[in-house]
A and B are shown apart, each in its own frame.
Chain A
Amino acid sequence: MPRLGYSYAFLDPGAKRELRRSLLKAVALPGYQVAYASREMPIARGWGTGALQVTLSLVGPEDVVKVIDQGADDSVNAANLRRFIASMSGARTTWDTLEATLIQSRHRIPEERLRPHQILILQVPIPEPLRHVEPSEPRARELHALADYSALWVGLFEETRRFRRSLKGAAYPVMVHGRYVMDPSPIPRWDVPKLHQAPHLTLLAAGREKRLYAVPPHTEVRPLAFQDVPFQVERVRARCRRTGVGHLFLNAIPGEGGLEHELSDTSVLEKLRAGRALGETYYDLEGRFYRDDVPV
């Protein structure tokens, strides 16, 4: 049961309506940053208020909600958000990626392949991919309008010249639907290919910056990369200390004997430890991506 004394799912109907309209606009213009009136929430700005508002504007009592923070369902932040969403909406919560209908995530896309009926909502700290090369916000908007992304290409050229590759570990810029360059939020490079032609809807929201954007299902999402220096995901020659898995994204953790590794996706970790079957994953046991039109 949702908590009494509040609007259903915390937000007032006007706020929900505005958010949904902004989301529809974002879906109609893949990768385009839509301005919206980000409301005050009972958590501090910068702690996922944007994604939380999106989740609350979409959630219904039949939904199953999963919240993860850097892949973990059991972090303090994820647990707080999950409990808040559940108490305000009456929706059921889960750790299981396959069971969830709404997945709010900070900086990770789950390892099990998402399905068409699921919605992924990513928390975004800096929505503007041009921020580091064009500090003026009005000018950055103009550059988006003109599709002038030369500054990003020059930056990539410079990095390639100096280091023979891009040094960007997270928030790797992507071209969406051949039109807008988008910051996919600080997901690792490992997760970037998962957005390309994905069957599910991805919504991204920055509460502090009052911007949201979207990648509709089956949309082309290409990381910016030179043809002769292709985009590559992170490859770590290590295995999870708890499951022995080596083909999925691992967190490096300082251990007694030096650096140790552990599966970042706790849903997968718990399933493997409980001996439960995994759903289809984006990467197979040999580290191959499920689509062959995406360089990894």
Chain B
Amino acid sequence: MTSPYEEAPLLRLEGVRQGYGAREVLRGVSLELYPGEVLGVVGESGSGKSTLLRVLYLELPAEGRYTLGQPGLEGLNLLALDPYRRLEVRQRHLALVRQHAHEALRMGFSSLANVAEPLLLLGERRYGQAATRALAALEEADFPTERADEPPRVLSGGLRQRVQLARAIAARPAVLLLDEPTTGLDLLVQARVLDTLRALKGRLGLSMILVSHDLGVVRALADRILVLLEGEVVEAGLADQVLEDPQHPYTQDLVQARL
């Protein structure tokens, strides 16, 4: 992919391969993420989107090269790190918003405690500071803070996603990964979550990788789009360019399917 920006990429994947048994799910995927941009990854079910996100979140081992332009990590292939260092990098630099909130949140603990967890993980040992920063993150994610003591299990799907978002941004990660963050929500709630994400992008200058099968969601947020088909990148470019003038037949099908 040629660089659309003058800055050096914040995140770079080169020739990443990952498979389940004999079946290869990612077949030499390369991508770059630049500071402050949103990269949308689209493709049909089974194209390898979620696997790609899990590799990016250092949750799955993979072959290839993965670098992050962060102090202390320059030139380091994150895929070659031992599990302990991988976890450290994940906790310090990455955050993931999952499609299903129950996979990411402790449903029995309060929303505030859920948001405070990444801060505690990174060594915050002052209760007051952790509580204040967690409340601020909930506010940034447009969560009604008067409900901060309620556990996610009693919250609606939309509010749960906001708790996830707050948790993801609380420790100010370098890269925010979003796995179908609005799937399963009704249209109005979807629009509100997207508004919040847009606001966060503007306010905090977050760099995000958004995975979705919904081109509408990707169109609303992404600066650039990457199209995945059977574990391979078949098209990549600026969002408008890919959506208005798709080059690859598969991308053309995707765009037409939406219309």
Contacts and interface: CB of A to CB of B under 8 A. Distances in A.
Interface of A: 145-148, 150-151, 153-155, 157-158, 160-162, 226-229
16 contacts: A146-B87, A150-B117, A151-B106, A154-B109, A154-B114, A154-B116, A154-B120, A155-B109, A157-B113, A157-B116, A157-B120, A161-B149, A226-B126, A227-B125, A228-B126, A228-B129
Interface string B93-125: 000000000000010011011101100110001
Contacts of B149: 161-162
B20 interface: no
Given A148-B87, A158-B109, A227-B126, 15 more contacts: A145-B84, A146-B83, A146-B87, A150-B120, A151-B106, A153-B121, A154-B109, A154-B117, A158-B110, A161-B149, A226-B125, A226-B130, A227-B127, A228-B126, A228-B129
Interface of B: 83-84, 87, 106, 109-110, 112-114, 116-117, 120-121, 125-131, 149
Contacts of B106: 151, 154
A147 B120 CA distance: 13
Contact of A161 (B83, B87, B110, B120): B110
Contacts of A162: 149
A229 B113 contact: no
A161 B121 contact: no
Which A-B residue pairs are the 7 nearest by beta carbons?
A: A226-B127, A153-B120, A150-B121, A158-B113, A229-B127, A154-B117, A228-B126
A148 B86 CA distance: 13
A160 B130 CA distance: 11
Nearest to A151: B106
B138 to A, nearest CB: 13
A160 B109 contact: no
Contacts of B117: 150, 153-154, 157
Contacts of A151: 106
Contacts of B87: 146, 148
B83 A154 contact: no
B113 A161 contact: yes
Contact of A154 (B84, B113, B126, B129): B113
Given A146-B84, A148-B87, A148-B121, A228 B116 contact: no
Nearest to B128: A228
Contacts of B129: 228
Of B83, B120, B131, B149, the most chain A CB neighbours within 10 A belong to B120
Nearest to A152: B120
Contacts of A227: 125-127
Nearest to A226: B127
A161 B131 contact: yes
Nearest to A146: B87
Contacts of A155: 109
Nearest to A224: B125
A155 B120 CA distance: 11
B41 to A, nearest CB: 28
B82 to A, nearest CB: 10
Nearest to A142: B83
Contacts of A226: 125-127, 130
Contacts of A160: 127
Among A151, A157, A162, max chain B CB count under 10 A is at A157
Contacts of B116: 154, 157
Nearest to B134: A157
B150 to A, nearest CB: 12
A147 B122 CA distance: 12
B252 to A, nearest CB: 45
Nearest to A153: B120
A83 to B, nearest CB: 46
A150 to B, nearest CB: 4
B30 to A, nearest CB: 29
A144 to B, nearest CB: 12
Contacts of A228: 126-129
A235 B45 CA distance: 60
Contacts of B126: 226-228
A145 to B, nearest CB: 8
Name the residue in A153, A155, A228 with the highest tally of chain B Cβ atoms < 10 Å from its Cβ. Answer: A153
B133 to A, nearest CB: 12
A157 B127 contact: yes
